[in-house]
Structure 1
Amino acid sequence: MKLAYWMYAGPAHIGTLRVASSFKNVHAIMHAPLGDDYFNVMRSMLERERNFTPVTTSVVDRHVLARGSGEKVIDNITRKDREETPDLIVLTPTCTSSILQEDLNNFVEQAQMSSTGDVMLADVNHYRVNELQAADRTLEQIVKFYIEKARKKGDLPEGKTAKPSVNIIGISTLGFHNHHDCTELKRLMADLGIEVNQVIPDGASVHELKNLPKAWFNLVPYREQGILAAQYLEAEFGTPYVDITPMGVVETARCIRKIQQALNAQGANVNYEEYINQQTLYVSEAAWFSRSIDCQNLTGKKAVVFGDSTHAAAMTKILAKEMGIKVVWAGTYCKNDADWFRDEVSEYCDEVIITEDHGLIGDAIARVEPSAIFGTQMERHVGKRLDIPCGVIAAPVHIQNFPIGYKPFLGYEGTNQICDLVYNSFTLGMEDHLLEIFGGHDTKEVITKGISADSDMNWSKEAKATLQQIPGFVRGKVKRNTEKFARDRNISEITLEVFYAAKESVGA
Structure 2
Amino acid sequence: MKLAYWMYAGPAHIGTLRIASSFKNVHAIMHAPLGDDYFNVMRSMLERERNYTPVTASVVDRNVLARGSQEKVVDNIVRKDREEHPDLIVLTPTCTSSILQEDLKNFCDRAQIDSKGDVMLADVNHYRYNELQAADRSLHQIVQFYLEKARKKGELPEGKTEKPSVNIIGMTTLGFHNNHDCTELKRLMADLGIEVNTVIPEDASVNDLKLMPRAWFNLVPYREIGVMTADYLEREFAMPCVDITPMGIVDTARCIRKIQAVINAQGATVDYEPFIDEQTRFVSQAAWFSRSIDCQNLTGKKAVVFGDNTHAAALTKILSREMGIHVLLAGTYCKYDAEWFTNEVSDYCDRVLISEDNAEIADAIAQLEPAAIFGTQMERHIGKRLNIPCGVIAAPIHIQNFPLGYKPFMGYEGSNQLVDLIYNSFTLGMEDHLLEIFGGHDTKEGITKTMSAESNLGWSRDGLAELNKIPGFVRGKVKRNTEKFARDRNIAEITAEVLYAAKEAVGV
TM-score of Structure 1 vs Structure 2, range by shorter chain: over 0.9
- String of CA shifts for 1:321-357, please: whole Å, max 9, x gaps: 1111111121111111111111111111121111111
Q: Which residue of 2 aligns with 1:247?
A: 247
- 308-317 vs 431-440, which deviates more? 431-440
- String of CA shifts for 1:117-138, please: whole Å, max 9, x gaps: 1110000111111100000000
TM-score, normalised to structure 2's length?
Answer: 0.96
How far has the Cα of 1:465 moved from its partner? 4.2
SS of 2:327's equivalent?
A: strand
CA distance in 2, matches of 1:57, 1:457: 50
CA distance in 2, matches of 1:252, 1:62: 54
CA distance in 2, matches of 1:472, 1:453: 22
Q: Give the alignment's Cα RMSD to 1 decimal.
A: 1.8
How far has the Cα of 1:88 moved from its partner? 0.8
How far has the Cα of 1:317 moved from its partner? 0.9
Q: Which residue of 1 aligns with 2:153?
A: 153
Q: For residues 441 and 157 of structure 1, do their structure 2 counterparts lie closer, same or farther at Cα, with a shift above 3 Å needed?
A: closer
Q: Which residue of 2 aligns with 1:69?
A: 69
Contact 1:242 1:255 in 2 (8 A): yes
How far has the Cα of 1:427 moved from its partner? 2.4
Q: For residues 222 and 439 of structure 1, do their structure 2 counterparts lie closer, same or farther at Cα, with a shift above 3 Å needed?
A: closer
- String of CA shifts for 1:136-188, please: whole Å, max 9, x gaps: 00000000111111111111111111111111100001111111111110110
CA distance in 2, matches of 1:180, 1:466: 49
CA distance in 2, matches of 1:445, 1:407: 37
SS of 1:348's equivalent?
A: coil
Letter in 2 for 1:223: R
How far has the Cα of 1:444 moved from its partner? 4.1
Q: Which residue of 2 aligns with 1:211?
A: 211
Contact 1:331 1:352 in 2 (8 A): yes
How far has the Cα of 1:52 moved from its partner? 4.4
Q: Which residue of 2 aligns with 1:322?
A: 322
CA distance in 2, matches of 1:353, 1:419: 24
CA distance in 2, matches of 1:77, 1:458: 61
- 208-217 vs 485-494, which deviates more? 485-494
CA distance in 2, matches of 1:402, 1:439: 32
How far has the Cα of 1:241 moved from its partner? 0.8
Q: Which residue of 1 aligns with 2:79?
A: 79
CA distance in 1, matches of 2:429, 2:48: 30
Contact 2:448 2:476 in 1 (8 A): no
CA distance in 2, matches of 1:242, 1:275: 19
CA distance in 1, matches of 2:404, 2:242: 29
Letter in 1 for 2:391: G
SS of 2:346's equivalent?
A: helix
Contact 2:28 2:90 in 1 (8 A): yes
SS of 1:427's equivalent?
A: coil
Q: Which residue of 1 aligns with 2:395?
A: 395
- String of CA shifts for 1:267-290, please: whole Å, max 9, x gaps: 111000000000001221121112
Q: Which residue of 2 aligns with 1:189?
A: 189
Letter in 1 for 2:23: F
Q: For residues 277 and 56 of structure 1, do their structure 2 counterparts lie closer, same or farther at Cα, with a shift above 3 Å needed?
A: same
SS of 1:167's equivalent?
A: strand
How far has the Cα of 1:480 moved from its partner? 2.6
CA distance in 1, matches of 2:344, 2:351: 12
Q: For residues 330 and 439 of structure 1, do their structure 2 counterparts lie closer, same or farther at Cα, with a shift above 3 Å needed?
A: closer
CA distance in 2, matches of 1:259, 1:316: 23
Letter in 1 for 2:151: R
- String of CA shifts for 1:69-127, please: whole Å, max 9, x gaps: 11111111111111111111100111111111110000000011011111100001111
Gaps of 5+ in 1: none
CA distance in 2, matches of 1:449, 1:66: 53
Q: For residues 430 and 31 of structure 1, do their structure 2 counterparts lie closer, same or farther at Cα, with a shift above 3 Å needed?
A: farther
CA distance in 1, matches of 2:116, 2:318: 50
Q: Which residue of 2 aligns with 1:291?
A: 291
Q: Which residue of 1 aligns with 2:123?
A: 123
* Identical counterparts, % of pairs: 79
TM-score, normalised to structure 1's length?
Answer: 0.96
Give yes or no for the alignment of 1:423 onto 2:416: no
Letter in 2 for 1:468: N
- String of CA shifts for 1:437-458, please: whole Å, max 9, x gaps: 0355654455447312434444
Q: Which residue of 2 aligns with 1:405?
A: 405
How far has the Cα of 1:433 moved from its partner? 4.4
Contact 2:171 2:202 in 1 (8 A): yes
SS of 2:347's equivalent?
A: helix
How far has the Cα of 1:500 moved from its partner? 3.3
Contact 2:44 2:53 in 1 (8 A): no
Letter in 1 for 2:215: A
CA distance in 2, matches of 1:413, 1:123: 38
CA distance in 1, matches of 2:51, 2:444: 40
CA distance in 2, matches of 1:87, 1:461: 69
How far has the Cα of 1:425 moved from its partner? 1.5
Q: For residues 284 and 33 of structure 1, do their structure 2 counterparts lie closer, same or farther at Cα, with a shift above 3 Å needed?
A: same
Q: Which residue of 2 aligns with 1:112?
A: 112
Q: Which residue of 1 aligns with 2:265?
A: 265
Equivalences for residues 294-313 of structure 1 within 5 A? 294-313=294-313
CA distance in 2, matches of 1:256, 1:488: 57
How many residues matched?
A: 508
Contact 2:445 2:464 in 1 (8 A): no
CA distance in 1, matches of 2:493, 2:72: 59
Letter in 2 for 1:156: L
CA distance in 1, matches of 2:501, 2:473: 22
- 466-475 vs 273-282, which deviates more? 466-475
CA distance in 1, matches of 2:503, 2:228: 56
- String of CA shifts for 1:11-38, please: whole Å, max 9, x gaps: 1111001110011111111111111111
Contact 2:150 2:210 in 1 (8 A): yes
Contact 1:302 1:326 in 2 (8 A): yes
- 49-58 vs 212-221, which deviates more? 49-58
CA distance in 2, matches of 1:447, 1:31: 47
CA distance in 2, matches of 1:416, 1:102: 51
- 62-71 vs 207-216, which deviates more? 62-71
Contact 2:442 2:472 in 1 (8 A): no
- 191-200 vs 38-47, which deviates more? 38-47
CA distance in 1, matches of 2:449, 2:439: 27
Equivalences for residues 466-505 of structure 1 within 5 A? 466-505=466-505
Contact 1:389 1:428 in 2 (8 A): no
